[in-house]
Structure 1
């Protein structure tokens, strides 16, 4: 009888420990994922408000710390890989800015931009070459559209760090 209680106690204790560890790890992953998605959103918002560029003069240290936290420097914004595509009123590409990315060629950028434009969503994700890109579509008052794509691998690599 005591042997039966001991085995039952060990099984219940093991299950309880497993549940506690699973809850802690799940919470850590959830918080990490939330912070990473907030960072992607903030970078896309900065890029969208500056027409797909990180302008050294208009982005101040105060602005960066306000959006990304007190431990972030102005220089850290330049670690991100991104590209921008601009459309006219009729949906034709007028400009492609791929100066901040090396792994995506012009044809792929054009295909990704047309795909995102047809989705008619303000935000989304797409994959190319095993990398996930978040995008933000911004409609201007004059009918023009800009789509900024951000490589999420830099942000994802920092999860749980």
Structure 2
């Protein structure tokens, strides 16, 4: 029930920009790495400022009339979208992340998710590539990296 032009996967939007010959937005090292990984894998990648997230994080589905302010997109209708949620509400989706947990130049702790809805034998390789980019270009210290499967 969504307009596919407005609610396409973020990875699809990035690929479309590149194919059309448009430049990618240059934001900061973390966001730029996020976008590079998304282009490389063709998966939506969600990267969040952990200092802005409260409590446990769940991956769920947006309910009727749920919305949040998407980064650079205004109000996003979350109904039936896969979304990340903490104790304070929804903050990320495969379409557009919210301003609530967005990465800024002041961010010091991140959570990066490569969102794959099916088995992919390359996920471990994608994770290693992501870790390598974060260490090399964002001076990151990797605390944990794992594949989590939804039940």
TM-score, normalising length: structure 2 = 0.27
Query: Which structure: greater helix fraction?
Result: 1
